[in-house]
Amino acid sequence: MRRTVTFLVAILVSLAASAQQFPDLVEQANKSVVTVYVLEQKNPGYGDPFTKTSNEGLGSGVLVGEAGEWILTAAHVVANASEIVVEFYDGRKVSAKTKRVSHTADVALIQLDRPVSDIPPAVIGNSDNVRIGEDIFIIGAPLGLAHSVSRGIISGRHSEKKITSDLKSMEFFQTDAAINQGNSGGPMFNMKGEVVGVVSSILSFSGGFEGLGFAATSNIAKDMLLQRGSIWLGIDALPLNFELCKVFNVPQEGALLVQSVAEKSAGHFMGMKGGYLLMSLGDYEFLVGGDIILSLDDIVLDGQAKFEELRTYLNSVEERHQYVVKVLRAGEIIELKWRMED
C-alpha cells in the first residue's frame, strides 16, 4: 500500500511540475511570434483599369533565422499583399516584404525592412519526429486577438500528392487545437518550444472552428523556403482550360488569366497587368482585361500538367535568373523580362 501511495504522489508531483512549466514555455515561445498586417490593392471590376480598392488582412507568423530579419508565415496571408507590417509582442512594428512563397505548401518567407537583434528567433524542430497524439500548442492572432494560445494534440498526418522540386509529397498535420481567422501563418510548437508546423487552414461548415485544423509541417517549410524557395511572382491568376481558352481566343489549350498584381512584386516589375472588368460564368466571378500568361521561360502552359511543372520549376530556379514571360494582351503576344536583382 505504501509503495502505491508513493507512486501516486510521484505522478501528482510530476503533473504539477508539468503544469507549472507550460506557462514558462509559452512565455518564451511567445516572444518570437508576430502579428502580420497586410494591405491588398485590387481592381473592383467596374471597367476602369486604373481604379483600385484597398483591403486589409490579418495573419500570424514567427521570427526565424539568426539574422533576425525573416518571418515564416502562410502563403495565402501575404501572397497578394502590397504592404506588410509585422508587430512583435512588445508592440514594436516593422515593415516587411514578401521574398519567397510556396502556394503548394501554403508557406511564405517575408523579410523585415530592418532586423531585430534583441528578440530570440524560434527554433525549427524536426517534424518527422512528431507522433500522432503528441501534445502541441499554437500561438497567433485569432479574430485579431494577438498572442492568443490554444492547446491540443496532433490528430493526424496527411500527405498530398503534389509535386515539389525534389518530388516530395506535401505534408500537413491535423490538430484539434482551436484555429480561427487570424491564426493563419502562426507557429505550431511542440512541448520543447520548437516550431513543428505553420498553421494553414481549418475545415469548417460554419465558418468557425470545428475541431479540424491543419498546419504545414516544419520540414516541408524548411525544404520549400529556408533551403530552396521559389521567387514571389506576386500575381493572382486563374487557370484556363481548353474550353475557356477558346472563349478568350487564346492560341493554345491552357493559360493563366491574371486577376491582380501585387505592388513591388516580380509581376509588377515585369509590367504585368491585372484584370479590371468583373465577369460571371456560371457560379464563378473573375476579372478580365488583364494579361493572359502563355509561357514562362521554356514552359508553355498548355495543360494542367504544365501548371504543376511550373510550380516545380519556380522552386528550383537560382537567384539572378532572368525570367522571360509571354503574355496575351489585347490580342497581341508580348514578351516580358525580369531579373531578380532588378
CA–CA gap between residue 285 and residue 57 (Å, rounded): 21
Residue 265 cell numbers, joined: 512584386
Measure Cα distances from 341 to 77, 266, 319 in Å: 25, 10, 8
Please indicate whether residue 159 is annotated as part of the active site: no
Using an 8 Å Cβ cutoff, are 193 and 78 in contact?
A: no
Question: Looking at 76, 127, 147, 295, which residue is catalytic?
Answer: 76
Distance of CA 241 to the CA centre of its chain: 26
Report H helices in the chain: 2-30, 75-78, 218-221, 242-247, 266-270, 304-316
Q: Using the Cα atoms of residue 159, residue 160, residue 165 and residue 166 in order, give the sign of their dihedral.
A: positive
CA–CA gap between residue 97 and residue 119 (Å, rounded): 19
Question: Looking at 106, 176, 223, 291, which residue is catalytic?
Answer: 106
> Of how many residues is the chain composed?
342
Residues pairing with 258 in the sheet: 237
Please indicate whether residue 184 is annotated as part of the active site: yes
> Which amino acid, residue 21?
Q
At residue 169, the 3 state secondary structure works out as coil
Please indicate whether residue 106 is annotated as part of the active site: yes
Question: Looking at 127, 155, 165, 184, which residue is catalytic?
Answer: 184
Comparing C-alpha atoms, which of 241, 277, 283 is closest to residue 259? 277
Output b/e per residue, 217-240; b: 16+ Cβ within 10 A.
bbbbbbbbbbebbbbbbbbbbbeb
CA–CA gap between residue 323 and residue 101 (Å, rounded): 17
Catalytic residues: 76, 106, 184
